Each structure stands twice: as C-alpha cells, then as structure tokens.
Structure 1
Amino acid sequence: PQNLLLDKKGTLKIADFGLARDETILKRAYSKDIVTLWYRPPEVLLGIDIYSSSVDIWSAGCIFAEMLRRAPLFKGDCEISQLFCIFQVLGTPTEKLWPGVSSLSNYNCDFPQWPATSSLSKYVHLTNDKAEDILTRCLSYPPEQRLTAKQALQHPYFSQEEEPISL
C-alpha cells in the first residue's frame, strides 16, 4: 500500500495519519469512508459506525498476507465485491461465527454462502504455524477477538529469527 514506506535497509515507516483517533476520548460515530478498500475490515463494509483500533489490526493482517503472497489477499473493486472477496476466503459470517453481524446495517441474509475456511494456507504461503496464528488472529471477524497491537508485537512470530524475505 502507498502508506507504507520501505527503505533499502528494510526499515518500514507508516505514513498518513489523517484519520488517527485518540482512544482515550469517548467512542462516537465516525466516518464510514475509511481505509483503502482492499484493507477495509468487514465491520466497516457492513456499516458499523463506531469502531476501534481493531480496524487497524485487520488492515495490518491484510498487509501481512500481501507481503507473504506478494499480492493483495482481498482485491475487490467496490464495497460489495470487497465483502465477497473476504467471504470467499474466510466464509460468509454467521451469527455463530460473529455474534451481532446480522444487525449491521449493510448485512443481507441473502448474501452468497461461502463455507468457513479451516486454514488460510490455501490462500497465503505461510512460513510456519506462528505465521498462520498471527494472521488468523488479525483477520478474525469479530473485531473484539482480534489481537491488540501490543499482543501482536508480543506474538511468538516476532520472537523467531528468520532470514528476511527478499522483495
């Protein structure tokens, strides 16, 4: 994505904090037109208007998957197409999988029904179980079940020594 800047030494810098929010401020309704489409989380696509930093964790998961597969994981060309790209990989969300999903304003009980996937390895070249775990936990449907930024940084995936992937 255009907001990630990588130099020749592999130093990553994040740019464009135009929609940054202070989490200590009382939650209120925000704009629904956030996040570049391919990295936009399903709850925003489905119409939620109060969201948290979990939207950024979803985006980070999408970027991580893109780095591993060298192509975007969810490449929709409009909001409904983006939702269907997500559903095709993760399965169409149900109340059992994501309690409250059917009450979101853009949810439609007539959405095509794709089965839930047992492993993201069908779509992403995962280098090990730790990579699969962190990706799965970043791309969890219920936002409250996603890793926090602190949990992600403390994840065992980041404690292992591996050779960098050449770009």
Structure 2
Amino acid sequence: MPHLENRVVDPSTGRTVERGVIGELHTRGYSVMQGYWNDPDKTAEAVDPDGWMHTGDLASMDEDGYITIEGRIKDMVIRGGENIYPREIEGFLYTHPDIQDVQVIGVPDERYGEELLACIILKPGAAELTAPDIDRFCRGRLAHYKIPKYVEIYREFPMTVSGKIRKGEMREAAAGRLRAGPAAN
C-alpha cells in the first residue's frame, strides 16, 4: 500500500534478509499502530524505537516486492538447530490421498530440542495412518529432518470461537502425552 514500508528480518540478528528468504515481517507507516493503550511494556515488544511493528508473521518477499506469509514465528519448530516451518510440511502432507486435514507442531525432545508431530484428520473411509506410513510417504521427498517423528489421528482439531485452530493447546496436550509414555503410533 502507498506510504507503508515492509521488510523481512532474521529474528535472531535483526538484519533484513535477501529476497526469497523467510524471516519475520516488519511493517511501518501511517496505518500501523503506535502502541497498546496504557501498556508500554507490550508496546515495546511489538513496536521498536524506529516505528517498525514486529508482526510475528514468518514471510518471504519476492523480487517484485510481493510478500508471502509462510506461517507464524511461534509455530516455527527448531529441531537440532534447523528452522522448520510447519506450513511447508502441512502443504506436502495434504498431497497424501488419505489426509483430509493436517497440523504439524513441535513437541519437546531431549536430543533435538523439538521433534515434529503430524496431527491428522483422515478422509472418510481412509485406513489408519501410523508414523512409519508417513515416514515412507515423505522419505526422499522431504528433507529427513522435516519428516514427522510422531503421528496422531484426530476426529477434529480444537478451535477458538473465531474458527482458528488452537495449536498451542494441541502442543501442550501432545507434550503431556509424550511425557507420559511412547506415542500411540
């Protein structure tokens, strides 16, 4: 939009990334909020001293300046030092003929920090899918570190009243189940 600036920044360094590289979307201009009402601490988290609002969105910018939202920073999984964007894996898993819906989340892991869990809703009449089934489907088509270690089958995902999937709730519940013992699959 006119009179607005956007940039994509590496969240760990604060430096603008090259075109095509995923980072956090920052924006500033006349239509960007100046801050939260009577909450300077929350404002300082969201808007830096130069007026850039840190959106929390993971995005990339192409050569023409068009921005593609790739996901949310809080959804990014760091497995063994590798940044993994669940939306990419979800997009791939949607190509499986038995998957109706899928959400990929990170769950705690002693060795890698986080591991991937694919939460799957099956198409009606589809056979049950297990972690080895998903591994075979992904092997050779996704980088090895992007293949979900765990698979859980859902009838439906927990949703907010506005229709958003509660990934945080799913992450907490899955972490509790994994602490209690091996994954069901």
TM-score between the two structures when normalised by the length of structure 2: 0.25
TM-score between the two structures when normalised by the length of structure 1: 0.26
Task: Between the two structures, name the one with larger relative contact order (CA 8 Å, sep ≥ 6).
Answer: 1
More helix by share: 1
Pair member with larger Rg: 2
More strand by share: 2
